[in-house]
Chain A
């Protein structure tokens, strides 16, 4: 099977250059389906909880966003979580992997204790996990590695390839297994995760809030089927959203912290707008990166206010990490799925745990209740540790 376009086709070239989403699958702390994710977000519910196996280890952080559908002691958990999301997306799209490219981030190598011998240190390679997942797909097969921006870059890279006519269809997204002591200790050392504080674990991650102390690490996966509008129409596929633009940038500032004025973040958003031939006034809602880190949220809010200009009080802003935690390589893909649901339904879900926006984080935050505001165009952003920034623009599909 080939994934390369037949340029002799009679389909209009304008249709070929439009890219749509026809399938989505996700696993997160809110459930093993995209419906559970969406319903949980609309209900302002957090899936973050105490992870009992961490309590016994004496570690300082015991909360996280665990995917309960796949047992934590399953040795190929990294593959299984990704594979389930991919299968959901393909089934929803009625697509065969043998006719799709595969652009995916398996995120980070997994470091965990051995199952047969708990004293053994087990290393599972993210690269090998990617190769195993990719083997069912056709070219291109690209493994994305851009830290927390990986999932968004995977979707953006697939979008570019389809829009330029290089391929017809692609599965894109990311997956991560993060809830291991190795990463919890590591991110605690970077002062990026919220430490246990005696409060309810579901409130651990509070983006943009005065009380924020960092994110909750999470496992998860998000998979999207992207294809040309021509292909989707030919197949009679159900279209969830259209992808309009994508932008990348680098902070070139610091490995551990964002540029405080948000310049790098703003640059990738402006590139996405230019790519989509849109203006900031066209944006109805933003799916924010919203990690609940002190500097990260400040930089993001600053960048968004500057991007949106005098319009910033009109544009609805929300983020999902308060509900599901930070699933690293999966985060951007899951957020693209939430953005697609937003433009499909017009409803912007709330930022779970945001009650009292901090000084400097002023935005038109969606708090408490979801807003049914007929949102048609959403900007979804991810900012990676190390300074890699990515932005996607999605719009409600209209023929």
Chain B
């Protein structure tokens, strides 16, 4: 049984910088989605019994770039056209952002975490695959699982971003947003007519889910994921139970 333990969300770098200089020092070199996801993960780890052994599931952003990376792209393209790529040197951090599930690696380094991990990519609807993987890892014996995600509205210019982190445990503990234990029961999917309104985003759907859980009063919750947060092929319902 997978129980929600802790949740954190960040949308504002200025707040992170002001409230937690240590966190800011750790995350400032990254792009916006990674900064926000890492800051959120840092927050929820205070509720973990052993951050070194938490199983990590990290959702890569659907908009993985940054304004700086796009500027590099323009530079590469223009210099390729006039045959002057030879002496161009790119900031290695930009390459790492393009290559790696960077929040997962940076989290592991921060917490000395060598545990099992799963990196999910930046495709629409992967957040729900992440929740399914949480249930599977707990069923298979993990004590705690971290699900983290950061994303932004656009990658090519200064954008709004969201970073979230959810900590799950096999043991029931009160989940702060509703002050009761909340159990993640299952994810239900059903084929739907292909939706054209999908807005790929790693974190927004999970943020909405937690808001729905916090405002719900009944013991059984069936959260129907809005079509824009799905993969466009299947409807998704997240089934949860609150315990007294």
Contacts and interface: CB of A to CB of B under 8 A. Distances in A.
Contacts of A254: 109
Contacts of B212: none
B117 interface: yes
B116 A271 contact: yes
A130 B121 contact: yes
Contact of B233 (A121, A135, A185): A135
B67 interface: no
A56 interface: yes
A147 B100 CA distance: 5
Interface string A143-164: 1111100100100010011001
B49 interface: no
A186 B81 contact: no
A119 interface: yes
Interface string A105-144: 1101101010000111101011110110011000111111
Contacts of A130: 121, 123
A21 interface: no
Contacts of A328: 99
A251 B118 contact: no
B82 to A, nearest CB: 8
Contact of A386 (B73, B77, B94, B102): B102
B19 interface: no
Interface stretch (A10-18, A36-44, A57-65, A232-240): A57-65
Contacts of A146: 101, 104, 117-119
A166 interface: yes
Contacts of A251: 108, 114
A143 B64 contact: no
A228 interface: no
Interface residues of A, number: 66
Contact of A121 (B77, B113, B140): B77
Contact of B80 (A57, A142, A190, A255): A57
B88 interface: yes
A248 interface: yes
A237 to B, nearest CB: 26
Contact of A111 (B73, B116, B120, B189): B73
Nearest to B194: A135
A127 B200 contact: yes
Given A255-B100, A255-B102, A386-B100, A139 B120 contact: no
Given A130-B123, A143-B122, A248-B116, A57 B85 contact: yes
A139 B234 contact: yes
A245 to B, nearest CB: 13
Given A57-B80, A147-B101, A186 B90 contact: yes
A185 B88 contact: yes
A31 interface: no
B105 A255 contact: yes
A387 interface: yes
B101 to A, nearest CB: 5
Contacts of B65: 109, 123
A252 interface: yes
Interface string B72-111: 1110111111011110111110111011111011101101
A249 B122 contact: no
B60 interface: yes
Interface in A249-269: 249-256, 264, 267
Given A59-B85, A131-B232, A145-B101, A252 B111 contact: yes
B136 interface: yes
A144 B104 CA distance: 13
Contacts of A255: 96, 100, 102, 105-106, 109
B111 to A, nearest CB: 7
A187 interface: yes
Nearest to B102: A386
B116 A126 contact: no
Interface stretch (B3-11, B124-132, B176-184, B203-211): B124-132
Contact of B76 (A111, A145, A267): A111
Contacts of A60: 85-86
13 contacts: A106-B121, A121-B73, A130-B121, A143-B126, A147-B99, A153-B118, A153-B119, A182-B98, A185-B85, A190-B96, A253-B109, A255-B96, A256-B92
